């Protein structure tokens, strides 16, 4: 267990600059539905290399560890369904997963969708497709198809929650050679939210619930992150009712969007806590 924590801390404080194995288009024949793309504002500022947006052709990028243990995690960065924080909630996370022997799978899902009626619908489709593709290529990539997790930050955490807990039929044409089971074997939500009723924050949104076959889940959030700690606890309590293994950490300080950054708060050690949980569940053997 100490090894997992140490590896996590080392990875969180250094950039390993791992080279991805390959990048695949999620929808080779084009994604379902239509997106409305707004022109980027001409403010004279240089593009931020840590942020990407206007993603109409989503991809999977595979980061394979030196000694794979068979577990894979699809990583969904946050960004309010407006953009993706591709570095601190994406590539650096995959590099940390590699230190645990876990294959990191970076998902660049469609965005922006924040102004659509259901902002998470297309991103969840992309996550479902991603998990199915990972299982389809499991033997090729050295992955156990029964050890595929989903990790999301902020809006990516909302995506992870819907992909893990919603029990609705996929709304796009499926192809046997591309799509496998879309439910993750475990879920990690880092400062995710967006599940509460708009007028009564003691309840979930209408139509949202945690099913009896939900996957084991890990939650970590800061106390000073608006309603997200409440949501993490409510989700945990629902999992507890179903006797589904879960773990929740609420840190006093940290705010929102810390990702893999280090600013001296205990919340920055979340990779160590998450690595310990994954180890205790048997996914790092």
Residue ranges of domains in the chain? 2-30+46-280
Among residues of the chain, what percentage have pLDDT more than 70? 87
> How much is the pLDDT for 17?
53
pLDDT at 63 over 80: yes
pLDDT tens string 195-227: 999 999 999 999 999 999 999 999 999 999 999
| HSE-up (13 A, CA, CB side) for residue 255 | 6
Question: 3-class DSSP state for residue 154?
Answer: coil
pLDDT tens string 90-109: 999 999 999 999 999 999 99
Indicate the pTM of the whole model: 0.90
Among residues of the chain, what percentage have pLDDT more than 90? 79
Please give the structure tokens belonging to residue 248.
């929740």
pLDDT at 173 over 80: no
Please give the structure tokens belonging to residue 124.
């969840």
Rounded to whole angstroms, how far apart are CA atoms 130 and 182?
8
pLDDT at 149 over 50: yes
Angle at 276 between CA 273 and CA 277, to 5 degrees: 90
Rounded to whole angstroms, how far apart are CA atoms 200 and 203?
6
Entry field: residues in the chain: 285
Look at 4-13, 218-227, 249-258 and tell me which has the smallest mean pLDDT: 4-13
The architecture (CATH level 2) of 2-30+46-280 comes to 3-Layer(aba) Sandwich (3.40)
Going across the sheet that includes 186-190, the strands are 22-25, 59-63, 103-108, 72-76, 148-153, 186-190, 217-222, 246-251
Residues 6 or more apart in contact with residue 92 via CB below 8 angstroms: 15, 259, 260
């Amino acid at each position: 267990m100490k090894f997992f924590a140490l590896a996590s801390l080392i990875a969180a404080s250094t950039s390993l600059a791992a080279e991805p194995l390959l990048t695949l288009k999620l929808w080779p024949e084009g994604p379902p539905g239509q997106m409305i793309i707004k022109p980027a504002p001409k403010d004279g500022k240089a593009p931020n290399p840590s942020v990407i947006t206007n993603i109409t052709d989503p991809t999977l990028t595979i980061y394979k560890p030196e000694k794979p243990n068979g577990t894979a995690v699809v990583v969904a960065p946050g960004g309010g369904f407006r953009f993706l924080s591709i570095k601190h909630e994406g590539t650096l996370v995959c590099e940390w997963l590699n230190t645990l022997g876990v294959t990191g799978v970076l998902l660049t899902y469609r965005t922006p969708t924040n102004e659509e009626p259901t902002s998470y619908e297309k991103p969840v489709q992309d996550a479902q497709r991603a998990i199915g593709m990972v299982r389809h290529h499991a033997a090729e990539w050295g992955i156990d198809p029964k050890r595929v997790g989903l990790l999301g930050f902020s809006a990516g955490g909302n995506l992870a929650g819907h992909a893990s807990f919603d029990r609705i039929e996929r709304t796009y044409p499926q192809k046997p050679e591309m799509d496998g089971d879309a439910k993750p074997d475990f879920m990690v939500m880092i400062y995710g939210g967006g599940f509460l009723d708009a007028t009564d924050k003691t309840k979930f949104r209408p139509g949202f619930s945690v099913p009896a076959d939900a996957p084991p889940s890990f939650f970590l959030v800061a106390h000073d992150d608006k309603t997200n700690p409440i949501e993490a606890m409510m989700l945990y309590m629902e999992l507890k009712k179903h006797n589904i293994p879960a773990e929740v950490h609420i840190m006093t300080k940290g705010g929102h969007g810390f990702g893999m950054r280090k600013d001296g708060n205990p919340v920055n050690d979340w990779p160590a806590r998450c690595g310990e949980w994954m180890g205790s569940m048997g996914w790092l053997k």
